[in-house]
């Protein structure tokens, strides 16, 4: 059975800074298992999680460390929601208990914000966990999940400053560096592992426009029209 990750689109505004590849995979695996479970406490087995993310290390010492690092880094992220009336910062999980002897992790989602992972019928992002795990570059992972949000339009258009922030791109990177170390690597990896990318990743000083597989549905002319609008600005 294919494991599916599904969450509210707001999740895509979060940058998972300092997460390594294994930690990012484990977090998404956890999200897939606690989806549509409300705010009830969920118990996950080490063996199940290891299998889901194709964990390579045999012993539990390293795995325990990886599980603990996930929560430490999640706390530093502080998920943020802003409306016209309020600005709310919160931690996604109110319980994250690792039980070493039983080799389980007990997790409970913050009840107030359980909507991010539950009862999603619109404004959600969905993808296969295995596809996500097969991507080795975190840049590829970050681009992949956002392309999945915009699969109905055929392209993801975003201001370059916002793109740099979401991708956690080092401030010292010039446009040529972003093209070389972020876009080209991601394009090749996404094409090889997911088939989601079919065209070049377009880049200007102000905007990144990333067409992908659905582009064939909306037509080449519409994508080129969007790129032309950016170049005119």
Indicate if the pLDDT at residue 135 is higher than 50: yes
Indicate if the pLDDT at residue 150 is higher than 60: yes
DSSP assignment of 146-160 equals: HHHHTTTTSEEEEEH
What CATH code would you report for 4-116?
Answer: 1.10.10.10
Question: Which pLDDT score, from 0 to 100, does residue 216 have?
Answer: 38
Tokens of 42: 């969920």
Q: In whole angstroms, give the CA distance from residue 20 to residue 17.
A: 9
- Mean pLDDT, to the nearest integer, of 153-177? 86
Residue pLDDT, tens place only, 34-87: 888 888 899 999 999 999 999 988 788 999 999 999 988 887 766 677 777 888
Question: Which pLDDT score, from 0 to 100, does residue 228 have?
Answer: 52
- Residue entry with tokens 């296969």: 128
State pTM to two decimals: 0.80
Question: Which pLDDT score, from 0 to 100, does residue 78 have?
Answer: 62
Question: Which pLDDT score, from 0 to 100, does residue 101 have?
Answer: 93
Question: Which pLDDT score, from 0 to 100, does residue 126 have?
Answer: 92
Percentage of residues in the chain with pLDDT exceeding 70? 81
Indicate if the pLDDT at residue 218 is higher than 70: no
Tokens of 233: 């600005």
Q: Please list, in sequence order, all residues whose beta carbon lies within 8 angstroms of the beta carbon of residue 82, skipping any fewer than 6 positions away.
A: 88
- Mean pLDDT, to the nearest integer, of 147-168? 84
* Predicted confidence band of residue 102 (pLDDT cuts 50, 70, 90): very high
- Between the CA of residue 77 and those of 5, 15, 17, 89, what are the distances in Å? 20, 8, 8, 10
Q: Please state which of the ranges 11-15, 169-173, 182-186, 203-207 shows the lowest mean pLDDT.
A: 203-207
Q: Which CATH class is domain 137-232?
A: alpha beta
Indicate if the pLDDT at residue 3 is higher than 60: yes
Question: Which pLDDT score, from 0 to 100, does residue 6 have?
Answer: 93
Question: Which pLDDT score, from 0 to 100, does residue 30 have?
Answer: 92
Indicate if the pLDDT at residue 217 is higher than 60: no
Domain segments of the chain as ranges: 4-116, 137-232
């Amino acid at each position: 059975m294919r494991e599916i990750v599904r969450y509210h689109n707001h999740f895509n505004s979060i940058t998972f800074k300092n997460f390594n590849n294994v930690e990012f995979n484990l977090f998404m695996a956890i999200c897939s298992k606690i989806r549509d479970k409300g705010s009830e406490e969920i118990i996950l087995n080490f063996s199940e999680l290891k299998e889901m993310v194709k964990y390579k290390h045999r012993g539990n010492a390293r795995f325990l460390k990886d599980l603990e690092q996930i929560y430490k880094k999640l706390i530093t992220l502080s998920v943020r929601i802003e409306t016209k009336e309020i600005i709310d910062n919160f931690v996604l999980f109110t319980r994250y208990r690792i039980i070493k002897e039983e080799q389980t992790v007990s997790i409970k989602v913050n009840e107030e914000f359980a909507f991010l992972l539950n009862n999603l019928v619109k404004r959600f992002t969905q993808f296969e966990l295995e596809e996500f795990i097969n991507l080795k570059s975190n840049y590829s992972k970050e681009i992949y999940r956002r392309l999945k949000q915009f699969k109905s339009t055929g392209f993801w258009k975003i201001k370059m400053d916002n793109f740099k922030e979401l991708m956690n791109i080092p401030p010292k990177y010039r446009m040529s560096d972003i093209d070389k170390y972020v876009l080209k690597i991601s394009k090749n990896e996404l094409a090889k592992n997911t088939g989601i990318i079919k065209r070049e990743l377009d880049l200007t000083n102000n905007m990144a426009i990333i067409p992908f597989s659905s582009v064939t549905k909306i037509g080449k002319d519409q994508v080129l029209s969007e790129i032309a609008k950016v170049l005119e600005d």
